[in-house]
């Protein structure tokens, strides 16, 4: 019975450890996107927490794989899973967030269904039970195991620092105030010839911005519901991010790209949606697009 219990405990800690390590290094590969995802929860300071979360996950994953005090490592992992599940539940209920960003750059693991995230976390909590019941007295932890855990956490933190390569709001950008809409319209006409006889939704965004990706489905609804005559996306040039965006989201609207400097002359933050009618901007929404009805007169 003891042998069987130890075997299940090994399976439990190994499964949990692999999950935490994959999650940590997948987010570290593109920590900028994960940081932008955290901003959706309502505070401009949350982005700096991204490397800390990644480091904690790497530390827990390594401790579980190396069975460094497995019962306590599994307990800490469970507390982490419960905490992030509660935070994600808040995001789903009150912030309209659908992607937990749990596996970062491994975007194919994102299903678009928030309930799948909760089920997945519940499964990992169940997997942890054998490790939690492992009452084996741990021997003194070898120094090399502690060293490996520290190196893994440091590598994850360092990698996330490298991939947080850009700030979403650039200090030289001017803000788009209502009194500047006529000037903004002139700049937009230089990008695309807008007709005074048509209505448009113009979506200014970045291919790599989590805020922008979160609202893209709502933007396409303007076209699907024929709310305006044309929906146009204008994005910052970034070929690598563009290819990934098209692969994941398969956009059904026309998208033009412009240099970063050109976007900076139009708006001070992204994403921004503009409702244009009669050759003039009639309404604007920044930070996301909630529903097509917002831009109707």
Helices (H), ranges, the chain: 2-29, 31-39, 50-65, 70-90, 114-127, 129-132, 143-163, 181-189, 210-224, 239-249, 260-266
Residues 151-199 pLDDT 10s: 888 888 777 766 665 434 333 333 455 557 888 898 899 899 999 999 9
pLDDT interval class at 296 (50, 70, 90): low
Burial 90-106 (b: 16+ CB within 10 A, else e): ebbeeeebbbbbbbbbe
Q: Which long-range contacts (CB under 8 A, 24 or more apart) does 172-176 make?
A: 172/264, 173/264, 173/267, 173/268, 173/269, 174/264, 174/265, 174/267, 174/268, 175/267, 175/268, 175/269, 176/266, 176/267, 176/268, 176/269, 176/272, 176/284, 176/286
The model's pTM is 0.56
Per-domain residue ranges of the chain:
2-163, 178-295
Architecture of domain 178-295: 3-Layer(aba) Sandwich (3.40)
Question: Is the Cβ–Cβ distance between 22 and 106 less than 8 Å?
Answer: yes
Helix (H), strand (E) at residue 277: strand 272-277
Residues 7-66 pLDDT 10s: 788 888 889 989 998 888 888 887 777 776 776 676 656 777 888 898 999 999 999 988
């Amino acid at each position: 019975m003891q042998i069987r219990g130890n075997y299940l405990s090994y399976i439990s800690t190994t499964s949990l450890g692999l999950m935490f390590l994959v999650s940590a290094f997948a987010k570290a590969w593109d920590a900028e996107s994960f940081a932008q995802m955290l901003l959706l929860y309502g505070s401009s300071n949350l982005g700096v927490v991204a490397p800390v979360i990644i480091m904690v996950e790497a530390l827990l994953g390594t401790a579980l794989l190396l069975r460094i005090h497995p019962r306590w490592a599994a307990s800490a992992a469970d507390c982490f899973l419960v905490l992030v599940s509660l935070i994600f539940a808040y995001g789903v209920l009150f912030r309209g967030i659908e992607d937990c960003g749990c596996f970062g750059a491994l975007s194919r693991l994102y299903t678009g269904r928030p309930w799948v995230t909760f089920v997945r976390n519940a499964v990992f909590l169940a997997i942890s039970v054998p490790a939690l019941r492992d009452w084996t007295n741990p021997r003194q932890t070898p120094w090399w195991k502690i060293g490996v855990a520290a190196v893994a956490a440091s590598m994850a933190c360092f990698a996330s620092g490298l991939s947080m390569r850009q700030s979403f709001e650039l200090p030289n950008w001017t803000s788009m105030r209502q009194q500047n809409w006529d000037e903004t319209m002139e700049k937009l006409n230089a990008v695309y010839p807008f007709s005074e006889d048509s209505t448009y939704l113009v979506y200014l965004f970045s291919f790599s911005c989590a805020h922008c990706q979160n609202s893209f489905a709502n933007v396409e609804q303007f076209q699907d519901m024929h709310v305006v005559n044309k929906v146009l996306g204008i994005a910052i040039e970034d070929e690598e991010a563009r290819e990934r965006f098209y692969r994941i989201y398969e956009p059904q609207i026309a998208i033009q790209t412009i240099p970063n400097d050109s976007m900076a002359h139009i708006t001070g933050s992204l994403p921004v949606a503009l409702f244009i009618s009669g050759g003039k901007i009639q309404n604007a929404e920044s930070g996301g697009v909630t529903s097509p009805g917002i831009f109707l007169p």
